[in-house]
């Protein structure tokens, strides 16, 4: 699924329709905190963490199923996420995105939040945006907050921290 950005400048109605599209064929970046939370629910990082080098940086990415490139935590029968309460931060941000630079989309404008200058977008291809019977309204402020949190946590995610986390989890498992 390709993200089709549209400027997100005011609250939009939203309801996830569980169409599966965003849980398939995407790189879902993980922060160390995400890995720790998911592992805390009894999932072995070996079963859900893979690695990718992007722009010279090591990224931790959610594993996908071979047969449809769907996320390993996606339940194909219900269309729902099997780890919804501890799903990665980036999954909580989607179908929105936060950028430090404009993407060149018509109508975009900077969003000032807590002294930061951001550009916010939503994915036009997500059918849950502007859904007929929305469950909630999503505001630019809440997405900006999550976006900044994600950026901060991703910055602190590295191989050293991952090795420490694995050691800690293995230590917990031995107790």
| Residue 128 near ligand SF4 by CB under 6 A | yes
In the range 53-72, which residues lie near ligand SF4 by CB under 6 A? 62, 71
One of 3, 6, 13, 16 touching ligand SF4 (CB under 6 A): 16
With a CB cutoff of 8 Å and minimum separation 6, the contacts of 44 are none
CB of 34 to ligand SF4, least distance (A): 9
Sheet containing strand 49-54, strands side by side: 29-30, 57-62, 49-54
Query: For the chain, where are the E strands, in sequence order?
Result: 5-7, 12-14, 29-30, 49-54, 57-62, 96-99, 111-113, 116-123, 136-138
d(CA 21, CA 95) in angstroms, rounded, equals 11
Beta bridge partners of 71: 64
Structure tokens at 32: 């160390």
| Residue 118 near ligand SF4 by CB under 6 A | no
Question: In terms of CB distance, is 18 or 113 closer to ligand SF4?
Answer: 18
One of 5, 95, 140, 147 touching ligand SF4 (CB under 6 A): 95
Phi and psi of 144, rounded to 5°?
-60, -40
CB of 157 to ligand SF4, least distance (A): 16
| Residue 21 near ligand SF4 by CB under 6 A | yes
| Residue 17 near ligand SF4 by CB under 6 A | yes
Q: Which residues bind ligand SF4 (CB under 6 A)?
A: 16-23, 28, 62, 71, 73-74, 81, 83, 87-88, 91, 95, 126-128
């Amino acid at each position: 699924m390709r993200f089709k950005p549209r400027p997100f400048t005011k609250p939009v109605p939203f309801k996830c329709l569980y169409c599966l599209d965003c849980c398939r064929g995407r790189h879902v970046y993980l922060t160390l905190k995400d890995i720790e939370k998911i592992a805390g629910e009894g999932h072995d990082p070996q079963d859900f963490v893979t690695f990718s080098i992007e722009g010279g940086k090591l990224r931790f990415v959610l594993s996908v199923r071979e047969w449809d490139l769907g996320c390993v935590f996606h339940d194909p029968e219900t269309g729902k996420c099997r780890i919804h309460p501890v799903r990665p931060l980036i999954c909580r941000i989607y179908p929105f995105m936060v950028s430090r630079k404009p993407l060149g989309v018509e109508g975009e404008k900077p969003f000032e939040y807590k002294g930061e200058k951001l550009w916010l977008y939503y994915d036009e291809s997500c059918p849950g945006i502007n859904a007929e019977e929305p469950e909630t309204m999503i505001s630019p402020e809440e997405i900006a907050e999550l976006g900044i949190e994600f950026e901060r946590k991703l910055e602190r995610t590295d191989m050293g921290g991952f090795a420490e986390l694995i050691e800690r989890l293995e230590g917990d498992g031995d107790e």
